[in-house]
Amino acid sequence: MSSTQTPSETQPHASTPKTRANRPATRDLSRPEWYLNRELSLLEFNRRVLDLAKDQKVPLLERLKFLCIVSSNLDEFFEVRVAGLKEQVTHGVEQRGADGLTPSELLARIAMLTHQLVHEQYVVLNQSLIPQLADQRIRFLKRADWMPSHIRWMRRFFSRELLPLLSPVGLDPAHPFPKLLNKSLNFLVTLEGTDAFGRPNGTAIVQVPRSLPRVIHLPVRNVAWPHDFAFLSSVIHAFVHQLFPGMHVTGCYQFRVTRNSNLFVDEEDVDDLRRALEGQLPERRFGDEVRLEVADNCPPDLVYFLREQFHLDARDVYQCHGPVNLHRLMAVPDLVDRPDLKFQPFTPGIPTTPVPSEDWFDAIRQGDILLHHPYQSFAPVTEFLRQAATDPHVLTIKQTLYRTGADSAIVQSLVDAARGGKEVTVVIELRARFDEEANIELAHDLEEAGAHVVYGVVGHKTHAKMSLVLRREGRMLRSYTHLGTGNYHARNARLYTDFGLLTCDAAIGRDVRTVFQQLTSLGRPGRLKHLLQSPFTLHATLLKWIGRETDRAKQGRPAHIIAKMNALLEPQIIRALYKASQAGVKIDLIVRGPCALRPGIAGLSEHIRVRSIIGRFLEHSRIFYFLNDGDDRVFLSSADWMDRNFFRRIEVAFPVLDKTLRQRVIDEGLRPYLEDNTHAWILHRDGTYKRQTPGRRAARSSQQWLMNKLVT
């Protein structure tokens, strides 16, 4: 693409590049007011997701899913981000971040914003989603709405399915307050009377097993209402007295406690990382308490009682006008057969190859293959590895795995290859958060099959997405490589936007072999020709490329940077972008989640625009574009622009060398997002986002446009 046809030519936000003579005086780029806070920006991201739960143009059951996603995101936010801040405060760490906030100050801001966000969630549920679902004959029945037939059925259900599983704990000197599982559903029950031993026990705790569904699909008895649901909490509340025969229940209040879920393993001090993590995983369920969710009708004295048990402040208490775990409502759309209330299903397209062939090795030899998920199928990747596992000419398969999902076809191919006598080396990242247990089991299964399993480099998570197949072809040993921006997870490949590249380019193959050598062995392998790698060259090279665009702008030449990613937080990169903007470089940033850069500040960042695309699919691809004097430089990567990705992870960024495929990345991965005016939120300098609307212009949705273009 020439310098006169840049992807942002339709975005009139940048003025003529300033020359050295008229550009503003240099500012102190380290001042806190130039940076937004990561945690507060994450909360803004969840506010954007919640906006989709309100959007009348989104199918109704999908809106319910977006509400559940916010709940799940907030769970992880408290388990990891808030828990980490609380640890810092406990240990007296009050170091200010780039934005100038101390952990204590930040916790106060978080509490204020999350209380507002949680309140808004329940308003959306109770005042919008539940009434509109009822209009579609999908009801969530309150106890007051139960008919006699409902009551009879639920009484039997409680006696048969719930009563045998529930073990109430009466609180007295012999039964102290129990240690409750992280995020488990519990009830605080108040009682009058005496039990069989004459004890006037006034309080009990009932913990609900996680195996029980939180919403119960009632049997169809009335054709007019084919989908009636009851909350498990309502059923337990109605019949909880059966757990305390001879006593009178005076109150029953649901609550849930969220705990610190960070794992603490000193990698320098352990001989076996897998065994150390196995020992830590049970502790995650009983970490320090960080949040209490409780029914909004719970009396203040009982809320205080729970706070005291969990050593929490008043601001850590979230009163819920409905189920305390909205995420469990995610099961409802799967229980309701209403395609008209869901996104229209689609079949991902299969990319065309220069020479049609069922042999993926032959297809890749004809030319590089670019895959754009979820619009194009992930099947070529799984089929490529399946063929590699059974091909007698394949000698070696090397693979990184971060998240795979259950019953992974790729894992099965690796197992088959190892059992078939091929040399299989798998780098499994055991510390992929919340997938540690699954990855430990995965490592065990692969070792049992005869694969070599390693866990990367101590102190660095292996986040790179790479497959390498070495195949004997005559007298030549050829490398076939897959590189991607997303995980080897077939289900996520239908939900996340990602790019993947299949190539047999010899230089890229050598680079990938070098990275695998670093991950599995010792020593100092040579330099990489095409790939950029964290923690060695990626950060420095990006700074260099940003600097080159800056120099071109100072000389009055066209300069343009476009970057798409999940998060932008690293201060050195942000300062380099500020300098580029001051020089007049056009900078378009497509950042789905948290962004610490403040755009649109005169004399600092007026040439920078930041947008976030939130829609049906989770935007996950990372694309780095530099105009480079009209010789477009395009890289795809597994890395966001964050400290951890640059300095504490093994990441790779890979070039798209084929000009046609490079143009495809620009046309599919960048241009539609810069033109989107229906699912784009624009970041303002104060850290807030405003959703774009088409107005009088034609509506443009990047994801819908890509579905129309690529989906069969």
Q: Are residues 589 and 479 in the same domain?
A: no
Q: Would you state the pLDDT for residue 265?
A: 42
63 annotated ligand-binding residue = no
Q: What are phi and psi of 512, to 5 degrees?
A: -65, -40
The tally of CA atoms less than 13 A away on the side-chain side of residue 660 is 6
Residue 496 marked ligand-binding: yes
Q: Which two tokens stand for residue 394?
A: 């394949």
Lowest mean pLDDT among 16-30, 623-637, 643-657: 16-30
Choose the final residue of a domain: 528, 547, 567.
528
What mean pLDDT is predicted for residues 609-613? 98
For residue 266, what pLDDT is reported? 42
Q: Are residues 373 and 482 in the same domain?
A: yes
Are 450 and 564 in a shared domain? Answer: no
Best-predicted range by mean pLDDT (194-208, 457-471, 529-543): 529-543
**Residue 588: phi, psi to the nearest 5?**
-115, 120
In this predicted structure, what is the pLDDT of residue 688?
95
Same domain, 465 and 552: no
**pLDDT value of position 175:** 75
Q: Under a CB-based contact definition with an 8 Å cutoff, are residues 564 and 673 in contact?
A: yes
Residue 70 inside a domain? The answer is: no
CB 559 within 8 A of CB 682: no
Residue 437 has pLDDT above 60, yes or no: yes
pLDDT at residue number 43: 97
Same structural domain for residues 522 and 544? no
CA 664/CA 376 separation, integer angstroms = 13
Same domain (yes/no): 687, 609: yes
Higher pLDDT, residue 523 or 29: 29
Q: What is residue 433's predicted lDDT score, i.e. its pLDDT?
A: 67
Top pLDDT among 12 and 228 is at 228
Domain stop point among 507, 528, 549: 528
Q: Which 3 state secondary structure label does DSSP give 198? A: coil
Q: Looking at residue 283, what is its pLDDT?
A: 53
Taking a C-beta distance cutoff of 8 angstroms, is the pair 239, 155 a contact?
A: yes
Confidence band, pLDDT 50/70/90 cuts, at residue 58: very high
Our count of domains for the chain comes to: 3
Can you give the pLDDT at residue 442?
A: 84
Question: Which of 42, 43, 63, 60 minimizes the C-alpha distance to 52?
Answer: 63
Token readout for 562 is 């476009």
Whether 19 maps to a domain, the answer reads: no
**Who wins on pLDDT, 441 or 360?**
360
Q: Where is 399: in which H helix or E strand?
A: strand 394-401
Weakest mean pLDDT among 85-99, 267-281, 479-493, 495-509: 267-281
Higher pLDDT, 344 or 459: 344
Q: Is the CB of residue 476 less than 8 Å from the CB of residue 432? A: no
- CATH (domain of 634): 3.30.870.10
The mean predicted confidence, pLDDT, of the chain is: 89
Same domain, 269 and 386: no
- Is residue 62 in some structural domain? no
The model's pLDDT over 279-334, given as tens digits with 9 standing for 90+, comes to 444 554 557 899 999 999 999 999 999 999 999 999 999 999 999 989 999 999 99
The residue among 341, 369, 386 that closes a domain is: 341
Listing DSSP states for 662-687 in one string gives HHHIIIIIIHHHHH--SSEEEEPTTS
Residue 488 annotated as binding site: no
C-alpha dist (Å) from residue 52 to 64, 329, 596: 9, 16, 23
For residue 123, tell me if it sits in a domain: yes
What is the predicted pLDDT for the residue at 536? 94
Distance of alpha carbon 698 from alpha carbon 40, whole angstroms: 33
Q: Are residues 522 and 539 in the same domain?
A: no
Q: How many CB atoms lie within 10 A of CB 115?
A: 14
Q: Pick the catalytic residue: 237, 373, 460, 463? A: 463
On the question of pLDDT at 274 being above 50, the answer is: no
pLDDT of residue 6: 47
Read off the CATH number of the domain in which 111 is found: 3.30.1840.10
Of 446, 539, 542, 429, the closest CA to residue 487 belongs to: 429
d(CA 532, CA 580): 22
Dihedral sign (CA 64, 286, 172, 210): positive
Mean pLDDT of 21-44: 81
Q: Same domain for 326 and 475? A: no
Return the bridge partners of 248, or none: 192
Contact assessment for residue 279 and residue 76, using Cβ atoms and an 8 Å cutoff: no
pLDDT range class, residue 459, cuts 50, 70, 90? confident
Residue holding tokens 């959306």? 124
199 is in an annotated binding site: no
pLDDT at 431: 66
Is 444 labeled as catalytic in the residue annotation?
Answer: no
Q: What was the pLDDT predicted at 525?
A: 64
Nearest to 414 by CA among 428, 429, 393: 428
Q: Counting beta carbons within 10 angstroms of the beta carbon of residue 392, is it exposed (0 to 12), middle (13 to 18) or buried (19 or more)?
A: exposed
Q: Tell me what the mean pLDDT of segment 175-192 comes to.
A: 92
For residues 315 and 380, membership in a common domain is answered with no
pLDDT at 222: 64
Higher pLDDT, 210 or 375: 375
pLDDT band at 261 (very low <50, low <70, confident <90, very high): confident
pLDDT at residue 16 tops 60: no
CB 389 within 8 A of CB 360: no
260, 83 Cβ separation under 8 angstroms? yes
Q: Which of 430, 461, 431, 434 is nearest to 75 (CA)?
A: 434
Q: In whole angstroms, what is the distance from residue 338 CA to residue 659 CA?
A: 44
pLDDT tens figures, 118-131: 999 999 999 999 99
Angle of CA points 549, 580, 3, to nearest 5°: 35
Would you say residue 521 lies in a domain? yes
Q: What is the pLDDT at residue 630?
A: 94
Determine the pLDDT at residue 197. Answer: 67
107 within a domain of the structure (yes/no): yes
Question: In terms of residue numbers, what domain contains 149?
Answer: 90-341
96 is in an annotated binding site: no
403 assigned to a ligand binding site? yes
pLDDT band of residue 399 (cuts 50, 70, 90) is very high
In a domain, 124, yes or no: yes
Does 203 reside within a domain? yes
269, pLDDT greater than 60? no
Query: Do 318 and 377 share a structural domain?
Result: no
Q: Taking a C-beta distance cutoff of 8 angstroms, is the pair 599, 610 a contact?
A: yes
Q: Are residues 419 and 496 in the same domain?
A: yes
How many residues would you count in the chain?
712
